[in-house]
Amino acid sequence: MDSLQNDTVIEPTPSSSSTTLSRYENQKRRDWTSFGHYITNRTPPLALARCTGAHVVDFLRYLDQFGKTKIHSNLCPFFGHPSPSGACTCPLRQAWGSLDALVGRLRAAYEEHGGNAETNPFGARPVRVYLREVRDLQAKARGISYQKKKRKRPLGPPPSRSGASSCSETTMSQLKL
């Protein structure tokens, strides 16, 4: 495994050929390798130990050029319409859900490669803020409000303890016999 304490760059971890990895693990390994290539191909190259949340946000912005989701701008006539009826020149970008999943996989990979959870750049505030802004912008562009779901509380009254005590009383009376 790579050590994050020194100024090394990310190198792919060799995997055992006898172990079959899950789809998630394969994707996480590919994402980790892609991020490693991104930071080593920067000018100047960046060591993982010096990587910050701002560098992660730069990586996410870089990935936008490979996106497949049409995000309408404020000036587009289809802005705010969930199902636009025609074509427009708005750019293709990465979908918020894809970015959110990517950050989750990279966050896990960072810790698996020896990184400290408290200093994980993938969980840094700038990354969380960027993801929230992308989510809100894309929801507005589609005309869908994104509200956090609230937990549903049970409709019935809370379970009473009387049933439990009568059960134990019955057991106690049976023991006395």
Q: What is the mean pLDDT of residues 148-164?
A: 62
pLDDT value, residue 39: 95
Average pLDDT, the chain: 80
With a pLDDT cut of 70, the percent of the chain lying above it is: 72
pLDDT value, residue 157: 65
Q: Does residue 12 register a pLDDT over 60?
A: no
32: nearest Cα among 2, 58, 52, 64: 2
pLDDT value, residue 71: 85
pLDDT value, residue 175: 44
The CATH number of 21-142 is which of 1.10.10, 1.10.150, 3.30.2420, 1.10.287? 1.10.150
Question: What are the extents of the domains in the chain?
Answer: 21-142
pLDDT value, residue 77: 85
Q: Does residue 7 register a pLDDT over 60?
A: no
The C-alpha atoms of residue 90 and residue 93 are separated, in whole angstroms, by 9
SS3 of 69, please?
Answer: strand
Side chain identity, residue 57: V
Q: Does residue 50 register a pLDDT over 70?
A: yes
Q: Does residue 144 register a pLDDT over 50?
A: yes
Q: Which positions ≥6 away from 40 have C-beta within 8 Å?
A: 9, 10, 46
**Residues 8 and 48 sit within 8 Å (Cβ to Cβ):** yes
The C-alpha atoms of residue 106 and residue 28 are separated, in whole angstroms, by 7
pLDDT in tens, 62-84: 999 999 888 888 888 888 877 77
Where is pLDDT greater, at 4 or 9?
Answer: 4
pLDDT in tens, 81-131: 777 777 888 888 999 999 999 999 999 999 999 999 999 999 999 999 999
